[in-house]
Amino acid sequence: DAGVIQSPRHEVTEMGQEVTLRCKPISGHDYLFWYRQTMMRGLELLIYFNNNVPIDDSGMPEDRFSAKMPNASFSTLKIQPSEPRDSAVYFCASRQGTGRNQETQYFGPGTRLLVL
């Protein structure tokens, strides 16, 4: 099992540029989550999907952020335009279902974003 795959692992960009982060969840998992981690705010849930449908995007900080899941094996988080305060580590996680034995979320290695 390859686990959750994220790309790129590191991204350095200039303010105003568009940034696209990518995630491939574990095969067979119905849920996909996007998190952001910073020193100041800790781990924040941005948005999550169930069966490719966005369920809760209340954590998305601004309209500059958008996320899509066109199919069960791929999701993107886009920031346009990017700002220095978006610098953080962005994690993708997936989960199989909602039963007691399916609640565990499996995290990818993260994308470390630096906006100059």
Site residues (vs other proteins, CB under 8 A): 4, 31, 33, 42-43, 45, 48, 50, 55-56, 91, 93, 98-101, 103-110
CB of 33 to other proteins, least distance (A): 7
CB of 106 to other proteins, least distance (A): 7
- The residues, any chain, with a CB within 8 Å of residue 48's CB and separated by 6 or more, are 31, 32, 33, 34, 54, 55, 56
Cβ atoms of 69 and 94 closer than 8 Å: no
Residue whose CB is less far from other proteins, 81 or 112: 112
Residue whose CB is less far from other proteins, 15 or 114: 114
Q: What are the backbone angles phi and psi of residue 18, rounded to the nearest 5°?
A: -85, 140
Residue whose CB is less far from other proteins, 1 or 100: 100
CB of 37 to other proteins, least distance (A): 9
Residue whose CB is less far from other proteins, 37 or 76: 37
CB of 104 to other proteins, least distance (A): 5
